[in-house]
Amino acid sequence: MNPHGNAHTLVQARRRDSLDKRQRALTALTTLEQQGKKITHTAVARTAGVSTWLTYTEGIREHIEAAQQRQQPSGSRLVDTRTPNTTLRTELELARQEVRNLREEKERMRKAIRQQLGQQLDAFGTKDLTERIDQLTRENQRLQDTLRQATEDNHALHRQVTSLEADLGAARTSLRRMIREENRSLEKIV
């Protein structure tokens, strides 16, 4: 599995899709202009089968504006007669369309990733998975045996420490008695 390769493949596919949409928009613009139809962002988007948002992006917008200028009778200027509310509504609609497109694209990418992960899981055959489970089971058993042995060794050492502590206590008691008896003997002599 190579997650970096998968991401690279998705990025490349997205880039090709974007270039294809841009080319379709430019082709639609040329077609509309040759047919003598009125050039608008919406008309280009519908003809190309792309979002209106794309027609306002850099690299497409300039071509549309140039075609609109060419359509104007000589001596007239392109004047924006739209009201601010109309402009805002248009921008809002463009934003909504972009959101819809992004949601659709996100869902397409999710499906593609799910499918790719499914294919990768299918690539692991049952035999490979069975071998891996057996390997993990053996490793688990080895670790349990090691733990059991370490626990037994710990208990044995604990018993040995308890025994040595008892022996040490007895030796101390015995040493105290000997010191007392020796002191009594010395007192009788003196």
pLDDT tens, residue by residue, 84-116: 677 777 778 888 888 998 999 999 999 999 998
Task: Give the model's pLDDT for residue 175.
Answer: 95
- In whole angstroms, give the CA distance from residue 5 to residue 18: 20
Residues 45 and 119 in one domain: yes
Task: Give the model's pLDDT for residue 24.
Answer: 93
The number of angstroms, rounded, from the C-alpha of 70 to the middle of its chain's C-alpha atoms is: 48
Residues 78 and 92 in one domain: yes
Domain boundary among 123, 149, 177: 123
**Stronger pLDDT, 16 or 79, i.e. the higher one:** 16
Residues 153 and 111 in one domain: no
| Token pair of 62 as six digits | 């300039």
Query: Residues 179-185: what's their mean pLDDT?
Result: 90
pLDDT at 53 over 70: yes
Residues 91 and 131 in one domain: no
Residues 17 and 37 in one domain: yes
Are 32 and 66 in contact by the 8 Å Cβ rule? The answer is: no
Tally of domains in the chain:
2
Task: Give the model's pLDDT for residue 106.
Answer: 93
Residues 166 and 177 in one domain: yes
Are 67 and 39 in contact by the 8 Å Cβ rule? The answer is: yes
pTM of the model: 0.39
Is residue 117 classed as helix, strand or coil in its secondary structure? helix
Condensed to tens digits (0 to 9), the pLDDT of residues 127-162 reads 777 888 899 999 999 999 999 999 999 999 999 999
Residues 118 and 139 in one domain: no
Residues 50 and 142 in one domain: no
Confidence tier at 2 by pLDDT (50, 70, 90): low
- In whole angstroms, give the CA distance from residue 35 to residue 17: 27
Residues 103 and 67 in one domain: yes
Which residue type sits at 81? Answer: T
Residues 103 and 31 in one domain: yes
Task: Give the model's pLDDT for residue 179.
Answer: 93
- In whole angstroms, give the CA distance from residue 98 to residue 53: 6
Are 1 and 7 in contact by the 8 Å Cβ rule? The answer is: no
Domain boundary among 123, 146, 170: 123
Residue 131's domain comprises 126-190
Residues 118 and 153 in one domain: no
